[in-house]
Homo-oligomer: A and B are copies of this chain.
Amino acid sequence: MKGIEPKKTFLALPLEKQKRIIETAASEFAERGFKGASLNSIVEKVGIAKGSLYQYFHDKQHLFLYVFDYGIRLAKGALKEIESKEISIFEQIRYSIFAGFRFVKKHPLIYQIYLKILFEDKVPFRKKLIGTLRFYSHKYLLPLLKRAKERGEIRPDVDLEMAAFMLDAMMEKMLQAYTLSYIDSIGLYKADDKTINRLVDAWIDILKKGLANGGID
């Protein structure tokens, strides 16, 4: 992605300070969205002067993009490993979901920012951002499913694109439920770890029945 470089002043900062700034900013964006976030509030929390932030980032948008990009890099790493595992498609899906869970547990703000931006109109670069980060997207799921079909794990008459859409929907929803419950304990679905496990198992079960060759594998 272009135009997300911070000024070199920022990169010259002690890593500890860089991190403090990014995480404070992430927390502000996560809580208030792009428009709502206040640079005033960020500098105050970090404990630097207003002008300093502008030594580090060209403007609010650049700061946001950098924080977001930082999140993207973290997220991409989290899913990489699974693709190559020699396990059935259903196991891959299960792993992916739990990789997602681990990710939002470790970096809750990043996913929150993603959720915030998803439907905020006036983030000028919204389309680009959404395209960049769909946690379990076509790009990730469809190849997985195709290979599974070739291996005979999925019935030949299954509409793979449909299946990818369905998986995406489910996985993202689960992530949302997990995140929300994790972050502010709204507990929409009483989504504690135990319940989540049960949901995932039940879902994989239905999936198998719906997609797998020969039904109950």
Residues of A within 8 A of B (CB): 31-33, 35-36, 112, 115-116, 118-123, 126-127, 130-131, 134, 138, 158-159, 161-163, 165-166, 168-170, 172-174, 177, 180, 184, 186, 188-189, 198-199, 202-203, 206-207, 209-211, 215-216
The interface residues of chain A, by DSSP majority, are classed as helix
Supply 20 A–B pairs (Cβ within 8 Å), ascending by A.
Answer: A32-B121, A33-B121, A36-B120, A36-B121, A112-B119, A123-B184, A126-B186, A127-B184, A130-B180, A130-B186, A159-B202, A168-B173, A169-B170, A169-B174, A170-B170, A173-B173, A207-B210, A209-B211, A209-B215, A209-B216
Q: Closest CB of chain B to A89's CB: distance in Å?
A: 14
Q: A35-B32, A112-B119 are in contact. Are A165 and B210 (CB under 8 A)?
A: no
Please tell me if the beta carbons of A173 and B184 are within 8 angstroms of each other in the complex: no
Which B residues lie within 8 Å of A206 (CB)?
158, 162-163, 166, 210-211
Q: Closest CB of chain B to A73's CB: distance in Å?
A: 21
Please tell me if the beta carbons of B118 and A36 are within 8 angstroms of each other in the complex: no
Q: How many copies does the complex hold?
A: 4
Q: Closest CB of chain B to A81's CB: distance in Å?
A: 25
Please tell me if the beta carbons of B121 and A118 are within 8 angstroms of each other in the complex: no
